[in-house]
Chain A
Amino acid sequence: MNTALAGGGVDARGFMQRHGVKVFVAAVVLLFVYFAATTPNYLTLFNVKTIIRDAALVGIMGIGLTFVTLSGNFFLLSMKETAALCIIAFALGMANDYGFVISLAGALAIAVFTGAIQGALIGIGGNPIVVTLGAAGILYGVASWWSDNLVISYPRPHDAEWLGTGSVLGVPNITIAFIVIAVIAELALRKTVFGRQVYLIGANRSTGKATGHENLSMAIKVCIVASVCCAFVAVAFSAQLSSAQANYFSSEFGSSGDFTILVIATVMVGGNSIMGGYGSTLRTSLGAIFISSVDNLMVLKGFASGARVLSVGLMIVFSIIAFAYLRRGRRSEG
């Protein structure tokens, strides 16, 4: 007999089983708020803009990847390589005086083509991890070969600068683009037939198939969306630096770790279901901003890169565990 209950006390063990994850998440949030409030220059308008700007590029790619994950096709491991090929295409266009529009169109066309091929291979039954791992090698190889491993630069001023370095009322255009893309993506998921199909196929592929929604066309569409987001990031990044190189997105030594892993982290930390059918691009956007916030806080606190890479890893692991428990709890309550 549980004497605590019999005496009208609290069943601590039962409480922790039911609410342990929520308590843990609340503790993390409180800890974060405490450090944020006590760190000089952290909660300033300038720094908040810095955090969102920092999250923008990886966040845009994360939004694209969310469509793939929600549709039940896991992840594309070729995100940074797609961006690498697109940035080379764009920069070569700019360096050869084709101008912003044609160079952008070239990069987008490559993204659509490579996304469609990967989507088709996944749609006919290929394992997304294996397919995109292979695609990553091919795309990066083509980018390296095409650029002869050189930095492709084009002189300033040029007609892409507005995107890379411009701002409106002090807000960088890349940040604005991130917000606009996040809103459009969320509306597309919530308010369009395509969006509802993404959730349906992701939640239950058999039901989707029975109702005439094949994964082949869905896989092609979501891979194109993800690749186009990669192309946009590539173009914006090149426009900022007025140059490109195949390895611009390879930050193996960076505090953020590998770029593709960081993009996947935004999806996971946002709480999207790795199995598909549950989540949103809004969650991914917030995941990107949260990772950026923590990284920014750690820099302001004086942490070196090793500790910051560790924090990203821990965020991914804890997010997966916490959101899995929360979803399980919700299902059992329902």
Chain B
Amino acid sequence: MNTGKKTILASAAAAIVAGVVSLNGFAASIISFNGPAGEAYIGKFIKGIKATAKLKGYEIEVYENQFNQAEQDQQVQQVLAAGKRPDVFIWWPSDAVAGLGSLRALHRTGVPVLKINQLPNEQDKKYIFGYAGPDDALRARNAGLMMVEAAKVKEASGGKGFNVVAVTYPQSYGGYGLSINAFKEAIAGSGLNIIGEVDEGFGQANGYKGAAKMIAKLKDQGIHFVYGMDDAILTGAIKAFEEANYRMGEDVIAVGTVCNGDRQLIEEGKQYGTTLQSPLHEGQLAIKLVEEYLKNGELRNYINFTPNPAVTKSTMETTALKGYDGKAYTIEELCSGAWAG
């Protein structure tokens, strides 16, 4: 083959490659494995991740599972079998321990993996290049400190030594231990004593059921505060207390976290406050870290938390946070429950 022909072929090949790139038109590609959009928090996370990826010119494919590790494992196998090799995998395991095999399989492809939402553990650290997501401990600690502040106010009006009921995630859930320990540390020595704890499950219905049982068990001892491990659970718990004729905000003070509950409860004073954990931030932060990694080949910080400011009735109107896309977001945009205006 002479030089002229080689040049023509090389030019044609380059043109084809260029054509493919321009047809694709994306700066990078991402595949994200996460829970279902039908869950309010994850639904907002997916919106955040997609919008920010679009802003950065990234192509993103999202695989949702119904809180089912077996389903997520199957999705991973399908993606790998189809030969899909994006620039980055985003990994939100349904069950971090049970999903370790799938994470290992993703890692073996040589494509870097960013873990989100659930803190890395000793086993999966070596398969990921970083973490983006909530700080369960800080979120719960801030809720504890908020409850201590509320207790001081109550103490000033004559009370002393307050009983707390905790309505929590299932104890088998990863965030449970971090949350309850941080909350207990925050209220230690404040005169707030946890007298009962129930791990009925996620969501309003379980919060209601768990709290109703705790009331039956502990009402004779006196219940003064209730801590909801997130606001959705707390929303149900507040209904149970109201049905048992407690005046929320007076007889019992409720503090939650995550900001995935009901805005009106805070407005009405039935819920003292919450600590913000925005799924929108979480999605944006994930893309920001992907961008940083693709640019530098590493992250400045291995662990990257979303902010968890405390929000009360007096601060909710003025709470706004800057997103990782540079825009300012109001609390309605950041929260994930019944918060739309």
* B219 nearest CB neighbor, chain A only: A46
Return chain B residues, CB-CB under 8 Å to A254: 170, 200-203, 205-206
B residues 44-68 in Cβ contact with A at 8 Å: 66-68
Question: Which among B38, B67, B220, B264 is the interface contact of A253 at CB below 8 angstroms?
Answer: B67
Contact A240 B239 (CB under 8 A): yes
Contact A151 B40 (CB under 8 A): yes
Question: Which among A172, A241, A305 is the interface contact of B172 at CB below 8 angstroms?
Answer: A305
Interface-centre pick from B37, B236, B268 (highest chain A CB count, 10 A) = B37
Contact B264 A153 (CB under 8 A): yes
A residues 17-64 in Cβ contact with B at 8 Å: 40-41, 44, 46-47, 50, 53-54, 57
Return chain A residues, CB-CB under 8 Å to B242: 165
- Check: B213 CB closer than 8 A to any chain A CB: yes
Interface size class of B (residues with CB under 8 A): 35 or more
Contact A241 B202 (CB under 8 A): no
* A49 nearest CB neighbor, chain B only: B216
What mask results when residues 256 to 279 of chain B are scored 1 for a CB within 8 Å of chain A, else 0?
A: 000000111000100000000000
What mask results when residues 242 to 262 of chain A are scored 1 for a CB within 8 Å of chain B, else 0?
A: 110111111111111000000
B residues 196-246 in Cβ contact with A at 8 Å: 198-206, 208-210, 212-220, 235-236, 239, 242-244
Return chain B residues, CB-CB under 8 Å to A47: 216-217
The total number of A-B Cβ pairs within 8 Å is 138
Return chain A residues, CB-CB under 8 Å to B303: none
A285 to chain B, nearest CB (A): 18
- Check: A125 CB closer than 8 A to any chain B CB: no
Return chain B residues, CB-CB under 8 Å to A156: 264, 268
State in angstroms the CA–CA spacing of A313 and B213 once bound together. Answer: 21
Contact A248 B338 (CB under 8 A): no
State in angstroms the CA–CA spacing of A38 and B326 once bound together. Answer: 61
What mask results when residues 285 to 328 of chain A are scored 1 for a CB within 8 Å of chain B, else 0?
A: 00000000000100110001110000000000000000000000
Asked whether A144 and B38 contact (CB < 8 A) given A54-B212, A156-B264, A255-B170, the answer is: yes
Contact A253 B216 (CB under 8 A): no
Contact B215 A151 (CB under 8 A): no
Contact B170 A54 (CB under 8 A): no
Question: Which among B40, B235, B264 is the interface contact of A155 at CB below 8 angstroms?
Answer: B264
A residues 119-177 in Cβ contact with B at 8 Å: 140, 144, 148-153, 155-156, 165, 167, 172
B56 to chain A, nearest CB (A): 23
- Check: A67 CB closer than 8 A to any chain B CB: no
Return chain B residues, CB-CB under 8 Å to A90: none
Contact A46 B38 (CB under 8 A): no
Interface-centre pick from B37, B205, B215, B244 (highest chain A CB count, 10 A) = B205
Return chain B residues, CB-CB under 8 Å to A304: 170-171, 199
Asked whether A241 and B206 contact (CB < 8 A) given A50-B213, A151-B337, A250-B38, the answer is: no
Q: Which 4 A-B pairs have the closest CB atoms?
A: A254-B201, A153-B338, A149-B43, A47-B216
B-to-A contact residues, CB < 8 Å: 36-40, 43, 66-68, 169-173, 198-206, 208-210, 212-220, 235-236, 239, 242-244, 262-264, 268, 336-340
Beyond contacts A41-B217, A153-B262, A247-B39: 8 other A-B pairs, Cβ-Cβ < 8 A, are A46-B219, A140-B38, A241-B262, A242-B264, A246-B38, A255-B209, A296-B213, A304-B171
